[in-house]
A and B are shown apart, each in its own frame.
Chain A
Amino acid sequence: MAAMQQESAVRTSNATRVLIYLLLLLFAFFYLLPLFVMGVNSVKPLSEITGGNMMALPEMWTLEPWRKAWSEAQVGVQATGLKPYFWNSIKMVVPAVFISTILGALNGYVLTKWRFRGDTILFGLMLFACFIPFQIVLIPMARMLGIFGLAGTTWGLVLVHVVYGIGFTTLYFRNYYAAFPTELVRAAQIDGAGFFQIFWRIMLPSSGPIIVVSVIWQFTNIWNDFLFGASFADFSSQPMTVALNNLVQSSTGVKEYNVHFAGAILAALPTLLVYVVAGRFFVRGLMAGSVKG
Chain B
Amino acid sequence: MGFLDIDSASKTYGSVEVLHNVNISVGEGEFLVLVGPSGCGKSTLLNMIAGLEDITSGEIRLKGNLMNGVHPSRRNIAMVFQSYALYPNMTVAQNITFGLEMHKVPKAERESAMQEVAELLQIGGLLDRKPAQLSGGQRQRVAMGRALVRNPEVFLFDEPLSNLDAKLRVDMRTEIKKLHQNLGTTIVYVTHDQIEAMTLSTRIAVMNEGHVQQLGTPKEIYDTPANLFVATFMGSPSMNLVPVSINANGEAVYAETSNSFGETVKLAVYEAGSDLRSMSGKTVTLGIRPEALTDKDGADHRSTHVERCASTVGVTEPAGSDTFVTTSFGGADCVARMRADTDASPGAVIEFAFNMENAVFFDPESGIRIG
Contact = CB atoms under 8 A, between A and B. Distances in A.
A-B complex is real: yes
Interface of A: 181, 183-184, 186-193, 197, 201-202, 205-206
Contact of A206 (B50, B88, B102): B88
6 contacts: A183-B82, A183-B83, A184-B87, A191-B102, A191-B150, A192-B103
A187 B143 CA distance: 10
Contacts of A188: 87, 98
Nearest to B74: A192
Contacts of B81: 183, 186-187
A192 B99 contact: yes
B73 A192 contact: yes
Contacts of B71: 189
Given A189-B73, A193-B102, 7 more contacts: A184-B85, A186-B52, A187-B87, A188-B98, A191-B99, A192-B102, A201-B87
Contacts of A205: 89
B48 interface: no
Consensus secondary structure, chain B interface? loop
A10 to B, nearest CB: 35
Does more than half of chain A's interface fall in helix, strand or loop, or is it mixed?
helix
A190 B71 CA distance: 8
Interface of B: 50-52, 71-73, 77-79, 81-83, 85, 87-89, 98-99, 102-103, 146, 150
Nearest to B104: A192
A212 to B, nearest CB: 16
Contacts of B87: 184, 187-188, 201-202
Contacts of A191: 73, 98-99, 102, 146, 150
A181 B83 contact: yes
Contacts of A192: 73, 99, 102-103
Contacts of A206: 88-89
B73 A190 contact: yes
B85 A181 contact: yes
B82 A190 contact: no
B106 to A, nearest CB: 15
Contacts of A187: 79, 81, 85, 87, 146
B52 to A, nearest CB: 5
A283 B98 CA distance: 33
A186 B87 CA distance: 11
A181 B83 CA distance: 9
Nearest to B71: A189
A114 to B, nearest CB: 13
B191 to A, nearest CB: 17
A183 B85 contact: yes
Contacts of B79: 186-187, 190
A189 B52 contact: yes
A38 to B, nearest CB: 43
Given A181-B83, A206-B88, A190 B72 contact: yes
